[in-house]
Amino acid sequence: MTMVQVFVFLAAAWCLLATTAFAAEPTVDVYAAGSLRQAMTAVAQAFEKNTGLAVKTTFGPSGVLRERIEKGERPDMLASADFSSPQTLAKAGLAWQTVLFTRNKLCATGRDSLGLTPDTVLGVLLDPAVHLGTSTPKADPAGDYAWKLFERAEAVKPGSFAALDAKADKIVGGPNNSAPVGGKHPVAAAFEAGTVDVFLGYCSGNLPRTVPGLVQVQLPSTLAVQADYGLALLKNASPDARLFALFLLSVDGQKILADHGFAPVALP
């Protein structure tokens, strides 16, 4: 989306919300990628404080949320960890044009005993003794990004794609494996159970802060994968939802995303 299109989107939203900003406590219904849980919750709280408008948030794998919308659920918007899901809704006539609202990157999180660094990460991932965990492709963009990494690895070391594709354990991000395990995030539970040694997920994640003995490393440029997050308002979206979209793209909203490890796209 060009900057001109972004400004048109913002201007249209202002016009629609001008006469409704003071409605009696409507609820803005937001479906958002699971990786946005902490950041979007903070954005929603700040928005509620500033406007007095209530926000309801539902988190999950972006592809799963998209399927729920396709089957009839009608939130006001989808804040996805990719562009594919919201664009699919737009093509189906269910949503307006997708807007880029933040970015993320893929990182490797693993046991510190593995000596994981940007220089050693590919060798560690390919080690037959290392158990590799990923999210679920198609259902969750994080899984799709992991397989993009596998493709990049193939260019660095032929044979890598087949090896990584065969060993990757899809432990989260699907319709049936995203619920907490024993009250813990599925990935944290897998590390604690010893079933995973390295996990490929977003750099915004905080696994090393919640599971002792883990380190998170950036991927080298040869393997790096960027995640563009897309926001789409559904055709039934309320004017107050447009106001929330404006706040998400505002300096305040972007700073909150940055504070939670995301790369802002709309800061001076």
Q: pLDDT at position 59, please? A: 96
Q: pLDDT at position 15, please? A: 45
Residue 111 or 7, more confident:
111
CA dist 202 and 168 (Å) reads 16
Token duo for residue 116: 């994981």
Predicted TM-score (pTM) of this structure = 0.87
122 in Cβ contact with 224 (< 8 Å): no
Q: In the chain, pLDDT over 70 holds for what percent of residues?
A: 90
Phi-psi label, residue 95: left if phi above 0, alpha if psi -120 to 50, beta otherwise: beta
110 in Cβ contact with 65 (< 8 Å): no
Q: pLDDT at position 19, please? A: 39
- For 156-187, the pLDDT digits (tens) are 999 999 999 999 999 999 888 888 888 889 99
The CATH class of the 105-218 domain is alpha beta
Token duo for residue 209: 């802060």
* Mean pLDDT of the 109-136 span: 97
Phi-psi label, residue 213: left if phi above 0, alpha if psi -120 to 50, beta otherwise: left
- Is residue 131 scored above 60 in pLDDT? yes
CATH number of 3-103+228-264: 3.40.190.10
Handedness of CA 27, 28, 29, 34 (dihedral sign): negative
Q: pLDDT at position 90, please? A: 97
- Is residue 101 scored above 90 in pLDDT? yes
Q: pLDDT at position 251, please? A: 96
Q: Quote the mean pLDDT of the chain.
A: 91
CA dist 17 and 243 (Å) reads 6
Q: pLDDT at position 2, please? A: 53
Domain segments of the chain as ranges: 3-103+228-264, 105-218
Q: Write a three-state SS string for the chain.
A: CCHHHHHHHHHHHHHHHCCCCCCCCCEEEEEEEHHHHHHHHHHHHHHHHHHCCEEEEEEECHHHHHHHHHCCCCCCEEEECCCHHHHHHHHCCCECCCEEEEEEEEEEEEEHHHCCCCCCHHHHHHCCCCCEEEECCCCCHHHHHHHHHHHHHHHHCCCHHHHHHHHCEEEECCCCCCCCECCECHHHHHHHHCCCCEEEEECCCCHHHHCCCEEEEECCCCCCCEEEEEEEEECCCCHHHHHHHHHHHCHHHHHHHHHCCCEECCCC
- For 181-232, the pLDDT digits (tens) are 888 899 999 999 999 999 999 999 889 998 999 999 999 999 999 999 999 9
- Is residue 23 scored above 60 in pLDDT? no
Poorest-pLDDT segment among 111-120, 135-144, 205-214: 205-214
- For 29-81, the pLDDT digits (tens) are 999 999 999 999 999 999 999 999 999 999 999 999 999 999 999 999 999 99
Q: pLDDT at position 176, please? A: 86
